[in-house]
Amino acid sequence: MINFSIRQLEVFVAVTETNSFSRAANDLALAQSTVSAHIKGLEDALGVHLFVRNAKKQIMPTQHSKELYSYAKAIVEQCRILNDEVSSSAARQELLIAASTDSFEHLLPGLMADYAKLHPASRFVLLNGDSTFVHEQLHNQNARIGFCGTALNRKELEYRVVCRDKLVMIAPNNRRYQKLQQRGLYGCDLLDEPMIERSRSSGTKKEFDNYLKKTGMPERKLNIVAMINQADAVKRSVISGLGVAVVSQMAAKKYEINKDLLVFDLDAEGAYRDIYLVYPKDLVFSKAERDFVGFAVHNLKQKQTI
Q: How far apart (Å, rounded) are the C-alpha atoms in residues 166 and 29?
A: 49
pLDDT in tens, 84-137: 666 544 445 789 999 998 899 889 999 999 999 998 888 999 999 988 999 999
Q: Would you tell me how many other CB atoms lie within 10 Å of the CB of residue 205?
A: 20
Sign of CA dihedral 69, 73, 74, 79: positive
Arithmetic mean of pLDDT over the chain: 87
Q: Is 182 exposed, middle or buried (0-12, 13-18, 19+ CB in 10 A)?
A: exposed
Q: Going from the N-terminus, what domains does the chain have, and what CATH number goes with each?
A: 6-86 (1.10.10.10), 93-163+274-305 (3.40.190.10), 165-272 (3.40.190.10)
pLDDT reported for residue 282: 79
Q: How far apart (Å, rounded) are the C-alpha atoms in residues 38 and 4?
A: 9
As a whole number, mean pLDDT of residues 142-161 equals 92
Residue/partner pairs of 288-294 with CB below 8 Å, 24 or more apart: 288/84, 288/93, 288/94, 288/95, 288/119, 288/122, 289/95, 289/144, 289/145, 291/119, 292/95, 292/115, 292/119, 292/122, 292/145, 293/145, 293/160
pLDDT in tens, 15-47: 999 999 988 888 887 778 888 999 999 999 999
Residue 251's φ and ψ, nearest 5 degrees, are -75, -30
Q: How far apart (Å, rounded) are the C-alpha atoms in residues 88 and 105?
A: 34
CB 84 within 8 A of CB 90: yes
CB 131 within 8 A of CB 202: yes
pTM: 0.67
Q: Is 112 exposed, middle or buried (0-12, 13-18, 19+ CB in 10 A)?
A: middle
Sign of CA dihedral 12, 13, 14, 18: positive
pLDDT reported for residue 305: 52
pLDDT reported for residue 292: 93
Banded pLDDT at 279 (limits 50, 70, 90): very high
CB 169 within 8 A of CB 243: no
Q: Is 242 exposed, middle or buried (0-12, 13-18, 19+ CB in 10 A)?
A: middle
